[in-house]
A and B are shown apart, each in its own frame.
Chain A
Amino acid sequence: MKRTTLLSLQIAVGILLLIVWHLLTTVKFGAKPILDPFFFSRPLDVLARVWKDFYAGTIWRHLGITLLETVLAFITGAIGGIVFGFVFARGEIVAAVFDPYIKAANALPRVVLAPIFMLWFGLGIWSKVALGFTLVFFIVFFNVYQGVREVSPTILANARMLGMNERQLLRHVYWPAALTWMFSSLHTSVGFALVGAVVGEYLGSSAGLGYKIHEAESVFDVTGVFAGMVILAVFVIIIDTIVTAIENRLLIWRPQAQSTTAQG
C-alpha cells in the first residue's frame, strides 16, 4: 500500500469514530441523546477544551513537568539498567547470588510503591521519577544482561584472536551487543517511563498531565478528562516518533526489512 493511501485511511478511521461519537452524543431521540454528554462529553467540546488549554497556556507547565519526569526516569533507569546488566552478565557469582532478589523485585507490581516513594521523595517530581525508574530499570537491565550473555561466541573468539584485551572487547563487542538489545526495548522503556510519571502524578501531585486528568475526574469534568487524554496521546505519539528516529539512526547496521529501490 502506498504511504499516502495508508495515511488517508488512518485519518478516515479517526474521523469516522469522531463522527459516530458526535452523533451519539448530540442527535436527540426523544428528550436525550443516546449517550449522555455528561458522562461521555462531545468531541467538539473536548477539542474546544484542548484549544483553550493551549490558548490560555496553562497546559505547557504540566506538559513540561511530565516530560521532565519521563526523561529523568528514562535516563536514570537506563543508566542503572546498563551498569547492573553489565556487572551481572560478566560476574557469574554476583548474578547467582542476587538472582532471587531481582526476580522478586521485578515481579512486584510497581504501583504499590508509589505511596512509599511519595513518603520518601515528597509530592514533587522525584517520587514520579523514582516510580518510572523502577519500571525502566528492569526492562533495560534484563535486556542488557541478555545482550551481553548472548554475544555470539564466534564473534567473541574472533575478536580475541585479533588480540583485543578486555577493555577493547567491552568497547567493540559487549557494548554494541548490549546496546542492540537495549534499543530493541527502547519503545517499551520510554513508554514505561511515561507511565511511571503519569501514574505517579495521578496518585498524588500538584502538576503534570496525570494531575490534570485526576483533577478533572474529581469534579466529574468528563470533558477535562478526555482533553487530558487527547493531549497525553499526542504527546506519546511525538515521543515515540522521536524514539523511532533515534533508533533508526543508531541501528543502521541492523538488517531491516529488505530495502530495494523497487516501487511497492
Chain B
Amino acid sequence: MGESAQAASAAVALRGVSIAFLLPKGGTYPAVAATDLVVAPGEFVAIVGPTGCGKSTLLNVAAGLIQPSTGTTSIFGRPLAGLNAEAGFLFQQDALMPWKTALDNVAVALEPRGVPRKEALERARQWLDRVGLSVFVDRYPHMLSGGQKKRVALAQILIRDPRILLMDEPFGPLDAQTRQIMGNLLLDLWAQDKKAVLFVTHDLEEAIALADRVVVMSAGPAATIVGDTAIDLGRPRDIAEIRTEPRFHAIHKQIWATLRGEVQKAYAQGEGRRA
C-alpha cells in the first residue's frame, strides 16, 4: 500500500504534527517535533514514552482538543476541524459528572445524538451491565471505587459507539489486579467490533499485552517517535497469562532497549517523575 492510500484509509493519521506551547512568560516550549503516526481501522496501537514527553499532547491533537502548530490530522481520510466526533476519549483523571448517577452519566452521552431519554436509560443499563456494574447504576461517582469509575467512563464512551478510542493512561491509578481485569474487559469489548484504538500508557508490559503495535516516543523537548514495533502475539489474549510467554519477553526486551535510553535521558534532564 502506498503512503497516501494508507493515509486515506487510516482511522487516524497525524502527518508532520508538531506542537509548541506558548509559555505565560513569553517564548515557546517545543513539546513535540514533526511526528507521523497512523492508526489503521481496527488497529490497537499503544504509545509508551518517558513522562512529560508529549503522549497526552499527541492524543489531544488526535481528539481535536489541541491544535497542532504544524502538520495535519485526518480522521478516516478527512481533515480534522474542531473536535473529533468519531472518537471516544477516556481521560486519565476523573471526568464523570459528580452530580449524576452512574446510569445518568452513561445515558447523558446519548443526548447529543437526540436519543429519547427512556431509550437512552435502557441502553445505559445494558452497557453498565456489560462492564459488570449492574448493581451500581444508582451510585454517584464518589460512592464508586477507582476501577468502578473507570468502567462507568468506559461505558459512557462506548455507548456512543465511536469508531476510534483514544485512551490516556486510563488505568493509571489502578492497582495491578484491577488493571488486568480492566485490560481483559477492554480487549473483550474491542474484539466485538474492532475499533481503532490509540492507547497511552507508561507501562510497557501493559502496552505489549494489549496492542497490535507499540510506538515509543523519545524524551522531550521536541519529542518524536523513535520506535514502532508490531506485536506478533496471537489473539484472543489474556493479559495475565500472555506475560509468561517467551515471545512476550523477547518483544519486551527489544522495545525496552529503545525505551530505556529515552527514560534515562528524561531523568538526566531532571524531567523524570516516574519510569
CB distance from B196 to the nearest CB of A (A): 16
Q: Are B93 and A154 in contact (CB under 8 A)?
A: yes
| Complex-state Cα separation, A128 to B125, whole angstroms | 51
Interface flags for B213-250 (1: CB within 8 Å of A; 0: not) read 00000000000000000000000000000000000000
Q: Are B65 and A162 in contact (CB under 8 A)?
A: no
Q: Are B111 and A161 in contact (CB under 8 A)?
A: no
Q: Are B160 and A162 in contact (CB under 8 A)?
A: yes
With contact pairs A161-B87, A163-B85, A163-B160 given, residues A168 and B112 touching in the complex (Cβ less than 8 Å): yes
Query: Taking CB as reference atom, which chain A residue is nearest B140?
Result: A253
Q: Are B89 and A161 in contact (CB under 8 A)?
A: yes
Query: Taking CB as reference atom, which chain B residue is nearest A259?
Result: B143
| Complex-state Cα separation, A160 to B85, whole angstroms | 10
Q: B83 on the interface (CB 8 Å rule)?
A: yes
| Complex-state Cα separation, A162 to B158, whole angstroms | 10
Q: B88 on the interface (CB 8 Å rule)?
A: yes
Interface flags for B60-89 (1: CB within 8 Å of A; 0: not) read 000101000000000000000001110111
Q: Are A168 and B111 in contact (CB under 8 A)?
A: yes
* Interface residue range, chain A: 20 to 34
Q: Are A161 and B94 in contact (CB under 8 A)?
A: no
| Complex-state Cα separation, A163 to B84, whole angstroms | 9
User: Which positions 131-177 of chain B face chain A at CB distance < 8 Å?
Assistant: 140-142, 156-157, 160
Query: Taking CB as reference atom, which chain B residue is nearest A252?
Result: B140
Q: A180 on the interface (CB 8 Å rule)?
A: yes
Q: Are B97 and A180 in contact (CB under 8 A)?
A: no
| Complex-state Cα separation, A161 to B90, whole angstroms | 10
Q: Are A180 and B99 in contact (CB under 8 A)?
A: yes
Q: B113 on the interface (CB 8 Å rule)?
A: yes
Q: Are A155 and B97 in contact (CB under 8 A)?
A: yes
| Complex-state Cα separation, A162 to B160, whole angstroms | 8
Q: Are A157 and B91 in contact (CB under 8 A)?
A: yes
Q: Are A162 and B94 in contact (CB under 8 A)?
A: no
Most buried by A among B65, B87, B93, B100: B93
Q: A165 on the interface (CB 8 Å rule)?
A: yes
CB distance from B4 to the nearest CB of A (A): 29
Q: Are B97 and A162 in contact (CB under 8 A)?
A: no
CB distance from B30 to the nearest CB of A (A): 23
B contacts with A: majority SS: loop
Q: Are B83 and A160 in contact (CB under 8 A)?
A: yes
Residues of B within 8 A of A173 (CB): 97
Q: Are B89 and A176 in contact (CB under 8 A)?
A: no
Q: Are B156 and A162 in contact (CB under 8 A)?
A: yes
Q: Are B111 and A154 in contact (CB under 8 A)?
A: no
Q: B37 on the interface (CB 8 Å rule)?
A: no
Q: Are B83 and A161 in contact (CB under 8 A)?
A: yes
Query: Taking CB as reference atom, which chain A residue is nearest B98?
Result: A253
CB distance from B210 to the nearest CB of A (A): 21
Q: Are B91 and A154 in contact (CB under 8 A)?
A: yes
Residues of A within 8 A of B101 (CB): 253
Query: Taking CB as reference atom, which chain B residue is nearest A179?
Result: B99
Q: Are A172 and B97 in contact (CB under 8 A)?
A: yes
Q: B108 on the interface (CB 8 Å rule)?
A: yes
| Complex-state Cα separation, A172 to B89, whole angstroms | 18
Q: B189 on the interface (CB 8 Å rule)?
A: no
Q: Are B95 and A154 in contact (CB under 8 A)?
A: yes
| Complex-state Cα separation, A152 to B96, whole angstroms | 10
Q: A24 on the interface (CB 8 Å rule)?
A: no
Residues of A within 8 A of B96 (CB): 155, 158
| Complex-state Cα separation, A55 to B98, whole angstroms | 50
Residues of B within 8 A of A165 (CB): 112
Q: B109 on the interface (CB 8 Å rule)?
A: yes
Residues of A within 8 A of B91 (CB): 154, 157-158
Residues of A within 8 A of B111 (CB): 164, 168, 172
User: Which positions 170-216 of chain B face chain A at CB distance < 8 Å?
Assistant: none
Query: Taking CB as reference atom, which chain A residue is nearest B101?
Result: A253
Q: A109 on the interface (CB 8 Å rule)?
A: no
Residues of A within 8 A of B93 (CB): 154
Q: Are B113 and A159 in contact (CB under 8 A)?
A: no
| Complex-state Cα separation, A40 to B274, whole angstroms | 70
With contact pairs A157-B65, A161-B89 given, residues A172 and B95 touching in the complex (Cβ less than 8 Å): no
Most buried by B among A152, A158, A180: A158
Q: Are A162 and B140 in contact (CB under 8 A)?
A: no
| Complex-state Cα separation, A165 to B87, whole angstroms | 16
Q: Are A163 and B113 in contact (CB under 8 A)?
A: yes
Residues of A within 8 A of B112 (CB): 162-165, 168
| Complex-state Cα separation, A253 to B96, whole angstroms | 12
Q: Are A161 and B97 in contact (CB under 8 A)?
A: no
Q: A255 on the interface (CB 8 Å rule)?
A: yes
What are 13 A-B residue pairs whose CB atoms fall within 8 Å in the complex? Answer: A152-B95, A155-B95, A155-B96, A155-B98, A158-B89, A161-B87, A162-B109, A163-B83, A163-B109, A164-B111, A176-B99, A180-B99, A253-B98
Closest 3 CB pairs of A and B: A158-B95, A163-B112, A255-B142
